[in-house]
Amino acid sequence: MRKAVDCFSGIKLCVLAAFACIALCVGPLVSQAWAVTYSFASDESVYLLDADTGQTLYEQNADERVYPASTTKLMTVLVALDYIDESELDQTVSIGDEVDLTPANSSMAYLSSGDSYTWRDLFYGLLLPSGNDAAIVVATHVARLETGDESLSASDAVAEFVRLMNEKAVQLGCAGSHFVNPHGIHDDNHYTTARDMVTIARQVLQNDFIRSVVKTTHYSCTSGNGSVLEWYNTNLLLQQTMQGIYDGDVYGEGNGSLACPYYDELCTGVKTGSTDEAGKCLVFSGSNGSISVLGAVMHSANQATLYPEVSAALDGTLSDCEHHTWSDGTSTVADAKLVHASVGTLLSGGPDLVVKTDGVVSSTIDTTKQYETQVNWNTDKVSQEGDAYQLVTSSISAGEQVATLDVLLEGQVVASYPLYATRTVVAFGKIDLVVIALAITALACIVVAFIMHRSTRKKQHQPHARHARS
């Protein structure tokens, strides 16, 4: 404890000792957990987060510029959802010459000019077989809805839709992304990052209908002209058997008799992409019922590398991770007696300084490594020397942040949560000296009065004593 340095220190320490125990300290809270090891090729861009909390679980080259290929279609869907709500999914869309804008030798849903499909069909055609023709059709008709101009040419409509895509990217804070088309065919000015793709995917998966689409393995539809189309999801983590799927590769003969080596029952979506420049790309999601994860791997060398990496990340995270609550928001996280607190603070009862979090604080913790929590006091408000605490400022108000609850992994802070004072505390000051002086004066007066009273009573009894002896 710091020694007193002024003539009043002895008095103050005596008074403080009379009112409370000095320097009460609560040690750090400790929690055990185990850690997941992620393994991705060093030249891949990777980002993985807890889809429920938004907590980053892993990142590698997450902000490097990459080409998105057909994962672009997640942004196409997100923009379209601003103009097509669930009640309109079964409205019919007539296909015109916009399909002629579809790039040659690209993945197709095989939509025909002069035919018609519902918005529901178009979304499936966009996301399952990764139809670039479906992307052009969606972009054209959404732009015409947005402008209110049904006569808008297909090329102008697509350009307007692309403007909306970039506007949406800005709204989402995706500063590393820029789009020049709705399908993802390569263009040097069409780029993104792994982090941005996860941000876009997380937003689009807020829609229940789209969330069901991206985990669908097969969809069949009949056009207005009676044509029947069969579409299979290009995400092989979802497929138990190989199908005639195209997304830069042909994966099977289409008879469904071959077992898919990449199937993972924990996967719930979402979108593949592939061009020579982009490499193999996959935005993926998974859930075990209690934890949901969302991630992106961009610029992978081939599917034989990509799918096992993603499957291992899904399986490891969902089998070994859990949500852990560090504070319930109501219980005391730490409390401390303050050296040199005001008399009023000490007389108010309970620990001098109590801190709590503002609501429940939790995070996703991994496996094989140990986590610790510790309270870190703001040194501009509270100083600590050994077990003793002292206010640096004249007072701390209820609700004021005075510390942080730090979560440490291997000695490194991985999360920090603010802690707030639950009551107002005041440092010892001049007014307390007056109070103490008055208290001592009053006590002295009481003692003097008591002594004088005893002396008077003694004198009053002395004559009676003499009479008794005579």
Catalytic residue positions, numbered = 70, 73, 130
User: Ramachandran region of residue 299, left (φ > 0), alpha (ψ -120 to 50) or beta?
Assistant: left
Q: Helix, strand or coil for residue 279?
A: strand
Whether residue 336 contacts residue 389, with contact meaning beta carbons closer than 8 Å, is answered with yes
Positions of E strands within 97-210: 116-118
Q: How many CA atoms lie within 13 A of 456 on its CB side?
A: 6
CA distance 272 to 281: 6
Strands of the sheet with 30-31, listed across from one edge: 30-31, 371-377, 401-409, 412-421, 353-356, 334-336
Whether residue 382 contacts residue 390, with contact meaning beta carbons closer than 8 Å, is answered with yes
CA-wise closest residue to 163 among 139, 188, 134: 139
CA-based Rg of the chain, rounded to a whole angstrom? 35
Instruction: Write down the H helix ranges in 207-362.
Output: 208-213, 303-320, 343-347
**Tokens coding 192:** 């993104």
CA distance 155 to 344: 76
Write the DSSP assignment of 390-409 as a string of letters: EESSSEE-TT-EEEEEEEEE
Whether residue 314 contacts residue 343, with contact meaning beta carbons closer than 8 Å, is answered with no
CA-wise closest residue to 182 among 153, 147, 157: 157
Contacts of 364 (CB under 8 A, 6+ apart): 50, 53, 55, 57, 291, 321, 322, 323, 324
**Tokens coding 275:** 């061009």
